[in-house]
């Protein structure tokens, strides 16, 4: 009974949190002097897009509550996907107006006008083979996965053999995905100022290392989320099936919150910081370029 109450409560509140998240972030980010907009134009853009975001958020919240109350009930929890148009369609506009670091083009459209980006350079060196995560860390994760799979296969009752699909599919897939994403994240574009500022270069390198460790955390954590429920049923017997479901559901929700929400937001904040550093370095170069 307690499990059902928690599950229904989660299905109600999780979409509410996700839908409100873009508006909360847009309110928390402070306004900073813009790289390309005058204060008056910046204020106009903030007011315009914040109003759209506020109205969109209220409409999405009312839609979720209406679906919950009059249509699908606890099964109507998929409205959390309204987060995506609110975040990418509206909140990003507010953030780009408040702080030019949130706009990778260093432009904000206001009344169909835009200010061009300053001259930029780029680092064309190959980075996809760089890895801040040592091979021993990935090998340890694979050994942990193989050990849980072996124990589960040996102890699991025949009628529960279908549960081996979770570590065999999800667990293995997330280790492969995590390794690939960690390497691919190093290829993210890194615009440079004409003088190739060493401070900016070091900030980019630090962010690459942090991203790779973040993907390692996500891949290994997801592997455990997929593998542990099967191991629990194998070692504790069929009576532990409800516990296994609880581990999988709560672990997946926690990983989605920390990995998708926490790490994703952290990454966006870091990119905005790097973009501001780049804009400042280009601004300092302008007198030299004109002379």
pLDDT digits (tens, 9 = 90+) for 187-241: 888 888 777 888 988 999 999 999 999 999 999 999 999 999 898 888 888 888 8
pLDDT at residue 136 is higher than 60: yes
Q: Highest mean pLDDT range out of 71-85, 137-151, 185-199, 231-245?
A: 137-151
Question: How many folded domains does the chain comprise?
Answer: 2
Separation CA 37–CA 41 (nearest Å): 6
pLDDT band at 65 (very low <50, low <70, confident <90, very high): confident
Which DSSP helix (H) or strand (E) runs through 122? strand 121-122
pLDDT at residue 111 is higher than 50: no
116 found inside a domain? no
- What's the pTM value of the predicted model, to 2 decimals? 0.72
121 found inside a domain? no
Separation CA 258–CA 283 (nearest Å): 36
At 109 the pLDDT is 39
Which comes out higher in pLDDT, residue 8 or 18?
A: 18
Q: Are residues 141 and 202 in the same domain?
A: yes
At 75 the pLDDT is 61
Which comes out higher in pLDDT, residue 40 or 104?
A: 40
At 101 the pLDDT is 82
Which DSSP helix (H) or strand (E) runs through 15? helix 2-28
For residue 39, the enclosing domain spans 2-102
Mean pLDDT of 264-276: 86
pLDDT at residue 170 is higher than 70: yes
pLDDT at residue 71 is higher than 50: yes
Number of CB atoms found within 10 A of residue 251's CB:
17
Q: Are residues 150 and 243 in the same domain?
A: yes
Spatial CB neighbours of 78, under 8 Å, sequence gap ≥ 6: 15
pLDDT at residue 178 is higher than 70: yes
What burial letters (b/e) apply to 38-52, b meaning 16+ CB within 10 Å?
Answer: eeebbeebbeebbeb
Separation CA 57–CA 64 (nearest Å): 11
pLDDT band at 8 (very low <50, low <70, confident <90, very high): low
At 122 the pLDDT is 61
217 found inside a domain? yes
At 99 the pLDDT is 87
pLDDT band at 53 (very low <50, low <70, confident <90, very high): very high
Q: Are residues 28 and 134 in the same domain?
A: no
Q: Are residues 94 and 132 in the same domain?
A: no
Task: Tell me the percentage of the chain whose pLDDT exceeds 90.
Answer: 32
In this structure, what are the phi and psi dihedrals at residue 192, rounded to the nearest 5 degrees? -120, 155
At 85 the pLDDT is 94
Q: Are residues 179 and 271 in the same domain?
A: yes
pLDDT at residue 259 is higher than 90: no
pLDDT at residue 269 is higher than 80: yes
110 found inside a domain? no
What burial letters (b/e) apply to 63-90, b meaning 16+ CB within 10 Å?
Answer: ebeebbeeeeeeebbebbebbeebbeeb
Separation CA 208–CA 203 (nearest Å): 9
Q: Are residues 37 and 179 in the same domain?
A: no
Return mean pLDDT, the chain: 82
Separation CA 165–CA 7 (nearest Å): 24
At 144 the pLDDT is 94
75 found inside a domain? yes
């Amino acid at each position: 009974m307690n499990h059902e109450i928690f599950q229904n409560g989660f299905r109600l509140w999780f979409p509410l949190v996700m839908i409100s998240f873009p508006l909360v972030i847009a309110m928390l980010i402070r306004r900073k002097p813009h790289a390309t907009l005058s204060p008056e134009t910046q204020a106009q853009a903030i007011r315009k897009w914040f109003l759209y975001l506020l109205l969109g958020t209220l409409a999405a919240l009312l839609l979720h509550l209406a679906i919950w109350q009059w249509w699908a009930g606890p099964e109507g929890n998929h409205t959390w996907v309204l987060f995506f148009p609110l975040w990418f369609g509206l909140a990003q506009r507010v953030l780009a107006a408040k702080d030019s670091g949130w706009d990778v083009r260093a432009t904000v459209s206001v009344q169909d006008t835009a200010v061009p980006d300053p001259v930029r350079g780029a680092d064309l060196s190959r980075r996809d083979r760089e890895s801040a995560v040592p091979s021993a860390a990935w090998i340890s994760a694979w050994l942990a996965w193989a050990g849980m799979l072996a124990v589960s296969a040996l102890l699991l009752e025949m009628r529960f053999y279908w549960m081996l699909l979770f570590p065999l599919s999800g667990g293995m897939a997330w280790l492969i995905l995590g390794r690939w994403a960690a390497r691919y994240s190093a290829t993210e574009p890194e615009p440079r100022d004409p003088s190739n500022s060493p401070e900016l270069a070091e900030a980019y390198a630090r962010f690459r290392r942090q991203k790779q460790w973040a993907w390692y955390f996500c891949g290994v954590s997801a592997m455990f989320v997929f593998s542990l429920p099967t191991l629990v049923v194998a070692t504790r017997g069929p009576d532990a099936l409800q516990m296994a479901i609880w581990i999988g559901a709560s672990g997946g929700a926690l990983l989605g919150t920390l990995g998708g929400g926490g790490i994703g937001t952290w990454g966006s904040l870091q990119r905005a910081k790097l973009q501001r550093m780049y804009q400042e370095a280009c601004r300092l170069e302008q007198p030299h370029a004109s002379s």
